[in-house]
Copies of this chain bind each other. A is one copy, B any other.
Amino acid sequence: MPSPSLLQEVVADAAPLLGGGKVADYIPELAKVPSQKLGIAVCTARDGVIGAGDYQEPFSIQSISKVFALVQTMGLYEERELWQRVGKEPSGNPFNSLVQLEFEKGVPRNPFINAGALVITDMLQTRLSAPRQRMLEMVRNLSGNEHIISDRTVAMSEYQHSARNAAIAYLMKSFGNFDNEVEQVLHTYFSHCAIRMSCADLARAFFFLCNKGASLDHRNVLSEKQNRQVNALLATSGLYDGSGEFAYRVGMPGKSGVGGGIIAVIPGEMSVCVWSPELDSSGNSLAGIAMLEQVSKRLGRSIF
């Protein structure tokens, strides 16, 4: 079990990496985030959440929301329905490439690349009357934090720079794999991405992933089998084109976001969330990966 002092050491060890990466700047709102942040939080059944550094400061969860969206969809659709619209394989290409999507007739490789998350959001849009509100309820319940919001300025800024995602959505529509209005789904998608949560919120919210699908307050978010499936997908595809490297260095299923957050789990033991806004060349948090590598090393934990 990690102790607060161990987490403080992990943060201290990662501090020299600050300055070596690059804060996401494809939208002006994200570029404004101070780059010098470092936070880590761990959640276990025995101790609940402990943390170090900036672990209580909310940040834009961005693509980490794709895991929430997938989990929500697994509760609304049959397994068969879901996986005929999106695949389970690593993409092997930069995360927003259209080449593979065209080659594979509009079926995205997995739910964690943009194309896959857009299909998932399209499926939520079909079944939910107020998908943005339902997502907020989900993350508030899971994290036990009623103050979580989605940042409208960030969401709007992303929408205004969404030509590439629109292209992806229209391409899937041309293959018959997109049912709702593209603009509407993009708004929902960016609302999800713009949710602000802290490392503490996220470690708590994703505790179910290390607990056979059961949340801290003992609700079944996923079945045990579904939970293993989500972890498997995270392990093979959670860090874009850095998933293999992440497995090699860290050895935990995980998901990153361009806001600099990464969530990861050691099944049966703990959920972890790290945050540091500077990204490496694969779009993953530079110091975040280093902190997770240290956790893995110091605890002697890896799924491998």
Residues of chain A touching chain B, judged by Cβ–Cβ distance below 8 Å, are: 87-93, 97-100, 102-103, 109-110, 163-164, 166-171, 173-174, 178, 182, 227-229, 231-233, 235-237, 241-245, 247-248, 251, 253, 267, 302-304
Choose one: B109, B168, B171, B182; the contact of A92 (CB below 8 Å): B109
User: Are A241's CB and B99's CB within 8 A?
Assistant: no
Residues in B with CB closer than 8 Å to A303 are 235, 267, 303-304
Q: Which B residue sits closest to A303, measured CB to CB? A: B303
User: Are A110's CB and B244's CB within 8 A?
Assistant: yes
Residues in B with CB closer than 8 Å to A248 are 88, 229, 232-233
Report which residue of A93, A99, A236 has the largest number of chain B beta carbons within 10 angstroms of its beta carbon: A236
Choose one: B92, B98, B253, B302; the contact of A90 (CB below 8 Å): B92
Residues in B with CB closer than 8 Å to A267 are 303-304
Residues in B with CB closer than 8 Å to A245 are 88-89
User: Are B167's CB and A170's CB within 8 A?
Assistant: yes
Closest-CB distance, A163 to chain B (whole angstroms)? 4
User: Are B97's CB and A304's CB within 8 A?
Assistant: no
Residues in B with CB closer than 8 Å to A231 are 304
Report which residue of A87, A228, A304 has the largest number of chain B beta carbons within 10 angstroms of its beta carbon: A304
Closest-CB distance, A107 to chain B (whole angstroms)? 13
User: Are A236's CB and B90's CB within 8 A?
Assistant: yes
Task: Given A92-B109, A102-B98, A244-B237, verify A232-B170 contact (CB < 8 Å).
Answer: no
Q: Which B residue sits closest to A92, measured CB to CB? A: B92
Residues in B with CB closer than 8 Å to A178 are 163
Report which residue of A100, A110, A229, A242 has the largest number of chain B beta carbons within 10 angstroms of its beta carbon: A229
User: Are B163's CB and A170's CB within 8 A?
Assistant: yes
User: Are A163's CB and B167's CB within 8 A?
Assistant: no
Residues in B with CB closer than 8 Å to A169 are 167
User: Are B92's CB and A228's CB within 8 A?
Assistant: no
Choose one: B99, B103, B168, B232; the contact of A251 (CB below 8 Å): B232
User: Are A244's CB and B251's CB within 8 A?
Assistant: no
User: Are B236's CB and A243's CB within 8 A?
Assistant: yes
In the assembled complex, the Cα of A174 lies from the Cα of B162 at a distance in Å of 8
Choose one: B174, B228, B304; the contact of A164 (CB below 8 Å): B174
Closest-CB distance, A78 to chain B (whole angstroms)? 16
Residues in B with CB closer than 8 Å to A92 are 89-93, 100, 109
Closest-CB distance, A208 to chain B (whole angstroms)? 13
